[in-house]
C-alpha cells in the first residue's frame, strides 16, 4: 500500500482542461481549469490544437498541485480521463502533430460512413465493435487524416506515425514519448477494436486502409503504464489510471453492479449502464462499449456497458448565451426557464451536429417548433432545458429494452446536473429517481479511482464505492400518461429535424 495520500486526476474535456487533486477519502483538495480554443474551419468540422490540449493540461495540473499545497512527492499516482473519439496523428520522432485534432463532434467523414453502409459493412462492423457506423468514432477520422494530409499515408506505412485518442496523446507527452498506449475504454470507441477478441481488428484496419503500426498498445485501465517525466510536475509520478470520460464517470459513480446507470450532463449528454462481463448487442441503436478493463492473469478483464449519446446538451445552453443572447450566463437559464410553468408546446431539437442514439442521423439539424406570438424567451429557455431531459429519456427506454433490467435510479453528474429544474424534469420524464452525488466531479474521481486502485490508495472497488454519497434525490412527480404524452410529442418534433441537409434523391 502506498504511503502517499493524493492522486492527481487529469480531466481533458472538449472545451476545457481540468486537473483535480483527490485525497484518500475522495475529497477535492485542489483544482485547476482552463478553457481552450475551438476551431470550426468548415460547416460540420470541429478541430482542436493538439499542442494547446497538452500545454493547457500541464498548466492546470501544476495549478491544482499549487492549490492543494502538495508536490509531486506527495502523489501516489496520476489518473487520466479524456474527451473520447477525438483523433490525433503525430510523428514518432518529433512528437509533431500532422494536423489539428479532429474532434468527436466533427462530421466530415459522414460521406465515408454512408459509403460503408451502402457497401453492406454496417452490420458486421457493429457486431464486432459494438458501434454503429457513424462519423462520431475515431476510425474514419484516422482514415481521413491518412488520406488527406500530404505525405501521411507514406509516413504511416514506414512506421513513422503514431495515432491516438486524447489519453494516448497525454501519456505520450507526459512520458516524453516513451509510452504509446491506450486503455480498453478508449480503444472501444475507435471502430477499430473488436469487443470479442479484445484487440484491434485486422479486417477493419484493411477495410479502412489503416496500417496497424500507427496504433497504440492496449493496457489495462487500472495499472502503472509509465511515469511522468520529472520536469513536468517536479518529480516522477506513476501514470496508473486511464479511461474515457464517460466510462470514468461511471466508475466514479460506483456503478459496479449490472443494471446501475449514470448520465453525465456536459457539452453532450451520455448515459451508460453496466451490463456485466459480456457485451450486450443493442437492438435499439445503442452502443456496446467497454467500461473499463481491470488487470487479470491474461491481461485484463472487461466490464461492458450499453451507452447512448446526446451530441448537444450543455452546448444548447451555450448557444442560447452566445448565439441568440437570450441569457448572459449559462446559470441564468434556470430562473428564466422556471419563470413559466411549461413550454407552451414549444420544442427545441438541438441537432446542431446531427442526432446521436437512437436516431443516428448526421443530416438532422436544430429545430425550434411550436412557436406562436405568445412565445417568449422563457419558453425557449425551458424548451432547451427540457430537450436535454427528453433526449436522455429516449436513451433510457432503449437501455431498459436491450438489457432487460429496469432501472431503479439514475445517478447524475456533469455541469448541468447542478441545475435543479433540469434534474426534476429528468426524474419526471424517466419515472425513476434521479440522484446527484455529494462529489459532483465524477469523471475526475473515476480517473483517480482507477489510478488509486492500481497503487493501493484503495484496496478494492468496494472500498472505493463506500465513499460515494448522495447529495440530493429528485423523485418523479408525473403520472405515466402525462410522461408518455410528452415523449410522443417530442418524437413528433424530432421527425421534423431529421434529414434536413440530406441531398434530394
Whole-number Å distance between alpha carbons of 469 and 253? 9
11 is in an annotated binding site: no
483 is in an annotated binding site: no
460 is in an annotated binding site: no
CA 188 distance to own-chain centroid: 12
- Nearest residue to 343 via CA among 456, 149, 493: 493
Whole-number Å distance between alpha carbons of 242 and 173? 14
44 is in an annotated binding site: no
CA 475 distance to own-chain centroid: 26
Measured CA distances, 381 to 123, 145, 421, 447 (Å): 39, 39, 12, 34
Q: Residue 390 half-sphere exposure, CB side, CA atoms within 13 Å?
A: 24
Tens of pLDDT, residues 167-214: 999 999 999 999 999 999 999 999 999 999 999 999 999 999 999 999
Phi and psi torsions of 9, nearest 5°? -100, 125
Lowest mean pLDDT among 79-93, 266-280, 442-456, 462-476: 266-280
318 is in an annotated binding site: yes
181 is in an annotated binding site: no
267 is in an annotated binding site: yes
Which residues sit opposite 81 in a β-bridge? 11, 243
Q: What's the pLDDT score for residue 407?
A: 83
Tens of pLDDT, residues 352-363: 988 887 888 888
431 is in an annotated binding site: no
* Domain residue ranges of the chain, discontinuous segments joined by +: 85-163+184-218
Tens of pLDDT, residues 131-156: 999 898 999 999 999 999 999 999 99
User: What average pLDDT does the chain have?
Assistant: 93
The correct answer on CATH 3.30.420.40 for the domain covering 85-163+184-218 is: yes
Whole-number Å distance between alpha carbons of 135 and 45? 11
Q: What's the pLDDT score for residue 162?
A: 97
Of the chain, the percentage scoring pLDDT greater than 90 comes to: 79
419 is in an annotated binding site: yes
Which 8-state DSSP code applies to residue 69? T
Radius of gyration of the chain (CA): 22
Amino acid at each position: 500500500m502506498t504511503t502517499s495520500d493524493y492522486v492527481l486526476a487529469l480531466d481533458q474535456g472538449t472545451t476545457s482542461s481540468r486537473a483535480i487533486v483527490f485525497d484518500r477519502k475522495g475529497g477535492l483538495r485542489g483544482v485547476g481549469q482552463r478553457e481552450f480554443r475551438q476551431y470550426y474551419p468548415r460547416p460540420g468540422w470541429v478541430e482542436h490544437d493538439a499542442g494547446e490540449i497538452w500545454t493547457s493540461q500541464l498548466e492546470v495540473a501544476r495549478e491544482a498541485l499549487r492549490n492543494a499545497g502538495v508536490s509531486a512527492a506527495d502523489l501516489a499516482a496520476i489518473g487520466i480521463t479524456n474527451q473520447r473519439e477525438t483523433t490525433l496523428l503525430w510523428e514518432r520522432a518529433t512528437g509533431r502533430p500532422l494536423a489539428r485534432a479532429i474532434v468527436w463532434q466533427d462530421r466530415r467523414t459522414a460521406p465515408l460512413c454512408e459509403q460503408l453502409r451502402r457497401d453492406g459493412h454496417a452490420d458486421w462492423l457493429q457486431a464486432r465493435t459494438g458501434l454503429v457506423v457513424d462519423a462520431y468514432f475515431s476510425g474514419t477520422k484516422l482514415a481521413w487524416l491518412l488520406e488527406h494530409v500530404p505525405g501521411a499515408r507514406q509516413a504511416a506505412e514506414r512506421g513513422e506515425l503514431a495515432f491516438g485518442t486524447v489519453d494516448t496523446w497525454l501519456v505520450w507527452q507526459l512520458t516524453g514519448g516513451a509510452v504509446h498506449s491506450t486503455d480498453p475504454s478508449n480503444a472501444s470507441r475507435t471502430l477499430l477494436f473488436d469487443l470479442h477478441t479484445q484487440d484491434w481488428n485486422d479486417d477493419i484496419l484493411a477495410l479502412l486502409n489503416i496500417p496497424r503500426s500507427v496504433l497504440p498498445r492496449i493496457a489495462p485501465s487500472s495499472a502503472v503504464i509509465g511515469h511522468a517525466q520529472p520536469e513536468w510536475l517536479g518529480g516522477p509520478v506513476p501514470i496508473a489510471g486511464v479511461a474515457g470520460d464517460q466510462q470514468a464517470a461511471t466508475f466514479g459513480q460506483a456503478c459496479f453492479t449490472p443494471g446501475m446507470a449514470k448520465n453525465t450532463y456536459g457539452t453532450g449528454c451520455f448515459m451508460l449502464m453496466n451490463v456485466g462481463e459480456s457485451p450486450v448487442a443493442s437492438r435499439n441503436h445503442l452502443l456496446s462499449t467497454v467500461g473499463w478493463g481491470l488487470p487479470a492473469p491474461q491481461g485484463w478483464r472487461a466490464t461492458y456497458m450499453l451507452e447512448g449519446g446526446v451530441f448537444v446538451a450543455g452546448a444548447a445552453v451555450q448557444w442560447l448565451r452566445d448565439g441568440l443572447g437570450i441569457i448572459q450566463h449559462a446559470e441564468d437559464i434556470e430562473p428564466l426557464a422556471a419563470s413559466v410553468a411549461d413550454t407552451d408546446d414549444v420544442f427545441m431539437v438541438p441537432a446542431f451536429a446531427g442526432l446521436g442514439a437512437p436516431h443516428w442521423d448526421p443530416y438532422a439539424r436544430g429545430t425550434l417548433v411550436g412557436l406562436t406570438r405568445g412565445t417568449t424567451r422563457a419558453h425557449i429557455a425551458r424548451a432547451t432545458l427540457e430537450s436535454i431531459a427528453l433526449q436522455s429519456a429516449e436513451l433510457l427506454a432503449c437501455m431498459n429494452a436491450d438489457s432487460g433490467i429496469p432501472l431503479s435510479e439514475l445517478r447524475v453528474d456533469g455541469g448541468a446536473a447542478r441545475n435543479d429544474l433540469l434534474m426534476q424534469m429528468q426524474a419526471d420524464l424517466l419515472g425513476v429517481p434521479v440522484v446527484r452525488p455529494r462529489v459532483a466531479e465524477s469523471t475526475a474521481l473515476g480517473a483517480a479511482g482507477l489510478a488509486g486502485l492500481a497503487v493501493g490508495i484503495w484496496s478494492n472497488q468496494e472500498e472505493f464505492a463506500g465513499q460515494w454519497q448522495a447529495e440530493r434525490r429528485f423523485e418523479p412527480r408525473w403520472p405515466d400518461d402525462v410522461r408518455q404524452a410528452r415523449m410522443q410529442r417530442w418524437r413528433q418534433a424530432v421527425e421534423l429535424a431529421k434529414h434536413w441537409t440530406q441531398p434530394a434523391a
